[in-house]
Copies of this chain bind each other. A is one copy, B any other.
Amino acid sequence: DPSDQQLLSLLANIYAGSLEKHAPKIPKGTRDFSPEQMAIREVAFNIITNVFKRHGAVTIDTPVFELKETLTGKYGEDSKLIYDLADQGGELLALRYDLTVPFARYLAMNTDVHKLKRYHISRVYRRDTPNMSKGRYREFFQCDFDIAGEYDPMIPDAEVLMVMTEILDELPLGNAYEIKLNHRKLLDAMMEVSGVPAHKFRTICSSIDKLDKEDWATVRREMVDQKGISEEAANKLGQYVGDENKARLRSLGPLEMLAWLKGQNVFGGNAKAAQAFADLTILFEFLTAYGILKKFSFDLSLARGLDYYTGIIYEAVLTSGTTSVGSICGGGRYDDLVGMFDRTGRKIPAVGVSIGIERIFNILDKVLRESGMIRKTETLIMAMCHKDAPTAAPLELCAELWANNIRAEHGHTVVATNKDYKRMVDLVRDNAIP
């Protein structure tokens, strides 16, 4: 009978659907951490936290979501990547996109806090196209270190960069990284001098930022053909970030690059450029005192996209031979962000760095597995129960061990046969219990 057939096929579909429904899956772009991966994560966090604490930083925590309006207008073109929560009645919420904006919101809310050197290790969320092999997830950790408050010029900036290099050196990355440094005001000056209209600064910045992957000719074409700046403006920009800049970078350290830019007077009398040069002159003195200036390259083509930067900006990329395998950390100075949240317009200048940990996990995972250094548990003693003894006997033993704060486990099953015993011994060995 056809209607029976239809009914059967309908039921079969529902059944298949319900199986489908129960197939266990994890959201796209996210990951679980197994016990082994947690052990690796702890190694990385310990290295990083130790540096933060060595510099006297305290830590804070903020909620995983913020009011939607807190995040609005802070991330430029990347705002489309923000995860919104559903409107279930009540406030409009969104998952945090970074730890910097919540930090600024925290400072603006805590009006008794005028200075804060804090670190914050937590997860952030971006609806980006995931690429797990490159360590690009939709939920990922950031390890942030920021110094907020009024200080003598460039003192906090230099310390943030010191923290960054200490971490890069203490992680087992084999020194295979390079750090680019630039100044937001130099980017603005470059645009002004080249005659780029003010409303196109942001979009031209994001073209310039592609110069680490694409050549000048390609980026230049994008600026003229797609973003509509004049040939003349593009040529002028080329004086700063074109192929000659690449060649200069290979031969000039930060001090020489700064001297060359000042000497050539390529920015004319532009006021923003003058401010940036003054900042960088002091900064390079301090980085010399710290002994880390040689780790930096002063690169006019570094143009990090976030809206809130106002001073120096920097980014470290991991390198394999001469090729970059992706950004590992970055940051900058953001003097106006706290003020954006403050009703009274109170400003707190701040500078910070954000370390992405996902690529580091992959590297540490490889290093630690090869060295056989991963241990998931810290159990010292395994109590077993023989079939002729009362079941509760190992429980009493364990209770005594635990009471003396000794890490112990019992077998959770009665040892009745040699096979049982062998299984227990395997368990002990698998968990590296001494």
Contact = CB atoms under 8 A, between A and B. Distances in A.
A22 B57 contact: no
A22 B402 contact: no
B22 A341 contact: yes
Contacts of A410: 155, 159
A408 to B, nearest CB: 7
Nearest to A87: B86
Interface residues of A, number: 96
Interface string A369-407: 000000011110000000000011101100100100111
A391 B152 contact: yes
A290 B127 contact: no
Contact of A106 (B27, B32, B83, B402): B32
A21 interface: yes
Nearest to A158: B395
Interface stretch (A58-66, A189-197, A200-208, A273-281): A58-66
A293 to B, nearest CB: 12
A236 B168 CA distance: 70
A60 B33 contact: yes
A399 B61 contact: no
Interface of A: 19, 21-28, 30-35, 38, 41, 50, 53-67, 69-70, 83-88, 90-91, 93, 95, 105-106, 108-110, 117-118, 123, 125, 127, 139, 147, 151-152, 155-156, 158-159, 162, 166, 285-286, 288-291, 340-343, 376-379, 391-393, 395-396, 399, 402, 405-410, 412-414, 431
Given A24-B108, A41-B61, 6 more contacts: A26-B67, A27-B91, A27-B93, A53-B378, A55-B409, A152-B391
